[in-house]
Amino acid sequence: METRTGFRALLVGIILIIADSFWMMNASIFNAGYPTTVSLFYDVILILFVLTCANLLLTHPRPLPKGGLFKYFKKAALNRAELLMIYAMLSISSAICGLDMLQVLIPLISGAIYLATPENEWESLFFKYIPDWIAVKDKEALKAYALGESTWYTVEHLRSWLTPILIWAGFIFVLLFVMVCINSLLRRQWTEGEKLSYPIIQLPSELTKPGFLKNNLLWIGFAIAGGMDAINGLHFLYPVVPGIGGRLYDIGPLFTEKPWNAIGWTPVALFPYAVGMAFFIPLDLSFSCWFFYLFWKSELIFSSLLGLRNLPNFPYIDQQSSGAYLGLLVIALWSSRKYLGQIFTKVSALRNSASRNIKSDEKILSDADEPMKYRTAFMGVIVGMIILILFCRQAGMSIWVAVVFFLLYFALSTAITRMRAELGSPVHDLHFAGPDMILTTALNTRRFTPNDLTIMSFFHFFNRAYRSHPMPHQLEAFKLAERSDMNNKRLLWALLIAAGLGTLTSSWAYLDAAYRYGGKTGYAWRPFGNLERWLSNPSSADYPATTAILIGFLITTLLYSMRTRFFWWAFHPAGFAVSSSWSMNLFWSSILVSWLIKLIILKYGGVNLHRKVIPFFLGLILGEFVVGGFWTLRGALFHTETYKFLF
């Protein structure tokens, strides 16, 4: 039975998107926290927790007798489907205004001009390749943006920013529209066919269930994690108060002699929320995450031992990771090949008469309950890709480069989405290993025109890292819709509204804060520094790095092959891919602890004990997200740096 979700939930979602955008962007300006650097966004969880508590007050207003005002309070309460719709909308808007999208885009379209100096010669190198409509070129407006103590609300400033912001907002909307079309095509197979578990949404799904907040184990976990953050927050404000954990302890300096000192930065820390999140991923993946993290470190040591560290970027860990993610995509598509074939025949209307008589095929191919019709979704992908390619062509990029770039981008995006749905990896940043790096590594940079390289540099904002990638949140939203009997089509419209509104409100919030307190430009150094190098010193194809991409792909497929043939095989291909990420430096030790706890529970307590302790681990996540989120909110409201539990 379909649960009611109407205009009320949409309106609440819109209001909260605006408020959340100002929270996120002010927190970014003042370095008060970055909620979107892990798979589960703590700003959204904090808001959902507050809404759930408000719901309890409305449905159980203790001072009021039954009847009278009580019935009006009860009617005002949101149902579970409405709460989850709001959660989904906030997740999409937060992904857009996160650290790996708009918080990089605005410094990018301002920094290209502002950071140019006679010494770096950017103006003579590539200014002529930057169209006026994708960057801000008014130096007075940029100076006021970077230094602050001004206002965005002047005619000159608004005129300078309006066109680039609207152009990029449209670009981002089309980007997310293509993602949701791909998700619409794959949703049934991954959710109902393969029955993937979607571990990341365990907390929001349980939090919105009646009676969840009455569990004692939940509050024990909440008290441990939240108590640590409360004390550490006070320690940040008043150093006389002793802190409890919440720090990174680098063991790298303990290794002072060659080749061991090649291990580099190796932090050890214990984060309650990371222990909690890792508890919900399969044992073989959690084992593989910390095992392959140490494997990458051993590669560095052996490289030093063999004298190979003199090779630039050796052992090409980022490139191996890119190949691994592409391998995950091929594996996912191969396992879904029959379903995708049925989708193709459905879309192309080439099904033969025999297939029409097979009821099971009819059931599989029915798209009545999908977010959009398969044919509409397929055409959406095609039309969206055409719009993105035309955008690139208008900006000066070659068509073939644009086509390959976005094919690689959506391939990586789909691989990350699949990995999240199946395994719930707490991080997947894939730093500096996107299509721009793959193309310039695999091909001679002389193969690209200056326009190609310049526009690829502007695309750095959604390829710098994939931590806050919106595509997994779209698919997880559809899974939440299934669990709460929500209408997928209504949810689709809510997600599209969140995408459009989130882009505009985030830009507004960031520029409002930047002109008052000083905006960031530093995110422009890397992409335009690379562009300077590409144009000044064109390089040939990096064959060792390209080989590393191929090796990463082959290792992933080999791990998958072994895993499907031998039930005792403990190494998961996704663990190989995700363990090289920068964020794994922070979490590997927490994942190791969580893996060990879960292993002991399953070995000595079995599945029953495992189920009983689930609320405790959800409490660890909730406690740290609520109290840690409060400190971030405080920093945003009072315009000051504050304690950050999430680095």
pLDDT digit string, tens, across residues 370-410 = 899 999 999 999 999 999 999 999 999 999 999 999 999 99
Amino acid identity of 591? I
* CA 402/CA 387 separation, integer angstroms: 11
Mean pLDDT taken over the chain = 90
One-letter amino acid identity for 2? E
Conformational region of residue 599, where left means phi above 0, alpha means psi within -120 to 50, and beta covers everything else = alpha
Give start and end residues of each alpha helix (H) in 80-138.
Answer: 80-96, 102-114, 122-126
Name residue 633's beta-bridge partners. Answer: none
Token pair for residue 88? 């989904």
Residue 646: inside a domain, yes or no? no
Q: Is residue 643 part of a domain?
A: no
Q: Decide which of 345 and 254 is more confident.
A: 254
Q: What is the pLDDT of residue 15?
A: 96
In a domain, 623, yes or no: yes
Mean pLDDT, rounded, for 196-206: 93
Detail the DSSP E strand segments found in 109-236.
none
Strand partners, 267: 250
Query: Collapsing DSSP states into helix, strand and coil, what is residue 220?
Result: helix
Residue 1 lies in a domain: no
Q: Domain range spanning residue 21?
A: 7-638
Estimate the share of the chain in helix, then strand, then coil, as percent rounded to the nearest 5. Answer: 70, 0, 30
Q: What is the mean pLDDT of residues 190-206?
A: 91
Stretch 554-574: mean pLDDT, rounded?
91
Find the length of the chain.
647
Distance CA 112, CA 110 (A): 6
Measured distance CA(188)–CA(581) in Å, rounded = 30
Q: Which residues contact 613 (CB under 8 A, 6 or more apart)?
A: 217, 601
Q: In percent, how much of the chain has pLDDT > 90? A: 64
Q: What is the DSSP letter of 167?
A: H
* pLDDT per residue as tens digits for the range 495-521: 999 999 999 999 999 999 999 999 998
Tens-place pLDDT, residues 348-380: 765 444 444 444 444 446 777 889 999 999 999
Say if residue 3's pLDDT is above 70: no
Residues 478-507 as b or e (16 or more Cβ within 10 Å = b): bbbbebbebbbebbbebbbbbbbbbbbbbb
Task: Give the pTM.
Answer: 0.93
Is 556 contained in some domain? yes
d(CA 535, CA 457): 12
Question: For position 427, what pLDDT does the model report?
Answer: 84
Domain count of the fold of the chain: 1
- pLDDT higher than 80, residue 200: yes
Could you tell me which of 383, 370, 379 has the C-alpha nearest to residue 349?
A: 379
Looking at residue 140, its pLDDT comes to 93
Q: Is residue 619 part of a domain?
A: yes
